Amino acid sequence: AQKVTQTQTSISVMEKTTVTMDCVYETQDSSYFLFWYKQTASGEIVFLIRQDSYKKENATVGHYSLNFQKPKSSIGLIITATQIEDSAVYFCAMREGVGDNSKLIWGLGTSLVVNP
């Protein structure tokens, strides 16, 4: 069965530091896609970054990067030089298979608070 687990319920960091959020997943498929989304205080959910399972190189977008450890079924999100506006809930999600637009399996989220 597919499952995505985020063990950290909440994290608090100081501004301008680096934070890592953990995510582990379970899947039987050899091909899958991993995503991180962010939900702001207003409720808006926005896409941050994506890792395709067949790619060995860790994805990087702006100050977001991923630590993809396939043997451990782990996809950590790293935010460098955190800013106050990074405070949000971060969700890890997985999509299996090669068919298009199949549903995402979501973790329960990690709440990040960035303090000045």
Partner 1 sequence: NAGVIQTPRHKVTGKGQEATLWCEPISGHSAVFWYRQTIVQGLEFLTYFRNQAPIDDSGMPKERFSAQMPNQSHSTLKIQSTQPQDSAVYLCASSPPNERLFFGHGTKLSVL
Cα separations (Å) of 8 from 12, 38, 73?
11, 15, 16
Q: By CB under 8 A, is residue 102 in contact with partner 1?
A: yes
Least CB distance to partner 1 at residue 6 (A): 10
Task: Look at the chain and count its residues.
Answer: 116
Q: By CB under 8 A, is residue 41 in contact with partner 1?
A: no
Q: By CB under 8 A, is residue 103 in contact with partner 1?
A: yes
Q: By CB under 8 A, is residue 106 in contact with partner 1?
A: yes
Q: By CB under 8 A, is residue 32 in contact with partner 1?
A: no
> In 1-116, where do the E strands start and end?
3-5, 10-14, 19-21, 24-26, 32-39, 45-52, 60-61, 64-69, 74-79, 88-96, 105-106, 110-115
By beta-carbon proximity to partner 1, the closer residue of 14 and 108 is 108
Lay out the site mask for partner 1 across 55-94 (x = CB under 8 A, - = otherwise).
Answer: ------------------------------------x---
Angle at 107 between CA 72 and CA 45, to 5 degrees: 125
Q: Which residues bind partner 1 (CB under 8 A)?
A: 35, 37, 42-47, 50, 91, 100-109
